[in-house]
Structures are given as structure tokens and as C-alpha cells.
Amino acid sequence: MLAGSGGNMSIRLDRDRVLITRSGVAKGRLTPDDIILVDPDGRHVRGDGEPSTEMLMHLFVYRERPDVMACVHSHPPYATAFAVAGIPLEADILPEVVVYVGDIPLTKYASPGTNAVPESLAPYVKDHNAFLLANHGLLTVGKTLEQALNRHETVEQLARILAQARQLGAVNRIPRTDIDRLSAIRRDHD
């Protein structure tokens, strides 16, 4: 999901420190030297190089969501294809998406690496754990890096299954009564 040097990840250590991947490095071959320590305002604290160009997006999420401790952003092929096509991913297709991720809003287009990205997240950030970034990719958040990564994989799996189901001609939705039950499970575990 993290092709080449695309994408970025971060972990909030505490209210004063955030670890974020260095700009321009392949995430599949990260070393400790590829992690930059910044403060909540994005000031460089420790590490060589520049933090990810999407640092503003990560810091915005942390400011708006005290419960979030990790963010993962990448350009996974199927989810990004939906984002490029302007087609939302419906959560009510797979039970695991309802339980572990919830609804996945499609944000308006925002120029990467600018304040426009956090602005595009603003209407959704408080109530969602995954975001399709129009013409850009996917952002998932969690209480841990593992949870954010699992959500990332779950959304990409949904996108892959949904694309294939559309080719077959039918997309059947989970009945509303079960959506309510599954959503209650998510609320109990969040």
C-alpha cells in the first residue's frame, strides 16, 4: 500500500511529541533514522531530514481527536481508484468495516502538503476513522498504530471487493437492522 516513498505514518507519543516518517523515504525500508520527532505545532525536535509533507494533516487530526494516537496515509490502488473516480466507499457492504472502521467519507480535493488537506478533513474528522482523500489516497486513524494500519487494510479490502462486486453486477447491502447492531458493537469497543 505504500509504493515507493509515497505515504506517511505518525504516532503521538504524548501531548508534546509526535513521531512522523521522514519525507522521501520508502516506508517498507524504514530505519530509526527515518523517523522525525516534532512538537504539536510541527517544530522539528529531533532527527535528520524533513518530516513528511503531510505533517499538517497528521497534526490536525491529533488536535481535533484526543483519542487518536496514530495516523496512516497511503495511496492503496483500489481505495485510491474510488477516490479518483469520486465514488464513496459504503461501509454497509462488509460487517468488519461497520464494526472496525465505520463510515468512510470522501473529502473534497485538496492540494497535498497544504493547509487545504486539514480543511478538507474538518467536516468529518470528529466522527470518522477513515477518509478517502479525493484524487489523493486514504487516511486512517486509531488509538494505536496497529489499529490505524488494520483499518487501512480493511478499507483497501473493502474497495477491492466492492470493485469486483460491481463488475459482477450486484452490490448487496447489509440489512439496516444488522447495521444498527454492528454499529453498537463498534461504539462499545471504541
| Domain architecture of the chain: domains with CATH | 8-189 (3.40.225.10)
pLDDT value of position 1:
66
Asked if the model's pLDDT at residue 43 lies above 80, the reply is: yes
Cell of 62: 491529533
Give CA–CA dist 67/70, Å, rounded: 9
pTM of the complete model = 0.95
pLDDT given at position 178:
93
The Cβ of residue 47 has, within 10 Å, a number of other Cβ atoms equal to: 17
Is 119 catalytic? The answer is no
Confidence at residue 5, expressed as pLDDT on a 0 to 100 scale: 83
- The single residue of 54, 90, 96, 146 carrying the catalytic annotation is 54
Helix axes 145-168, 77-85, angle to 10 degrees: 70
φ and ψ at residue 26, rounded to 5 degrees: -70, 120
| pLDDT tens per residue, range 60-117 | 999 999 999 999 999 999 999 999 999 999 999 999 999 999 999 999 999 999 999 9
**Pairing mode, if any, of strands 44-46 and 70-74?**
unpaired
Nearest Cα to Cα of residue 105 among 153, 155, 145? 155
C-alpha cell at 3: 509504493
* pLDDT value for 35: 96
- pLDDT band (50, 70, 90) for residue 186: confident
d(CA 130, CA 164): 21
Instruction: Please check the confidence at residue 37 and state whether its pLDDT lies above 70.
Output: yes
Residue 143, pLDDT score: 97
Rounded to an integer, the average pLDDT of 11-27 is: 94
pLDDT tens column, 114-161? 999 999 999 999 999 999 999 999 999 999 999 999 999 999 999 999
The maximal CA–CA distance of the chain, rounded, in angstroms, is 53
pLDDT score for 27? 85
Look at residue 22 and give its three-state secondary structure.
Answer: strand
Is the distance from CB of 65 to CB of 142 less than 8 angstroms? no
Residue 190: pLDDT above 90?
A: no
